């Protein structure tokens, strides 16, 4: 299972129904490249941070 799917499953598993999940995905660039090197992802609900992850911009996030 890819890392993105694992993260999505974690959000679903850890949240009770009727809550809103806020997800922020920030692309991270190296030098002047137009292609993100990686992505920094934070998620929260009700003002509480659920998770913070950095994924490389490569197959399966590796």
pLDDT, mean over the chain? 84
Cα–Cα dist 51/23, whole Å: 10
Q: What is the pLDDT of residue 61?
A: 55
* pLDDT of 11 above 90: no
Per the model's pLDDT, the better-predicted residue between 5 and 26 turns out to be 26
Q: Per-residue pLDDT tens for 37-56?
A: 999 999 888 778 878 999 88
Decide the pairing of beta strands 38-45 and 48-56: antiparallel
DSSP state of 35: S
Sheet holding 48-56, edge to edge: 22-28, 38-45, 48-56
pTM score > 0.75 for this model? no
Cα-atom radius of gyration of the chain, to the nearest Å?
A: 13
pLDDT band at 9 (very low <50, low <70, confident <90, very high): confident
| Long-range contacts of the stretch 14-17 (C-beta < 8 A, 24+) | 14/50, 15/45, 15/50
């Amino acid at each position: 299972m890819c890392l993105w799917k694992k993260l999505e499953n974690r959000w679903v598993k850890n949240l009770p129904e009727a809550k809103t999940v806020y997800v922020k995905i920030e692309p991270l660039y190296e030098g002047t490249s137009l292609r993100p090197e990686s992505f920094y992802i934070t998620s929260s609900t009700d003002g509480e941070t659920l998770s913070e992850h950095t994924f490389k911009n490569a197959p399966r996030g590796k």
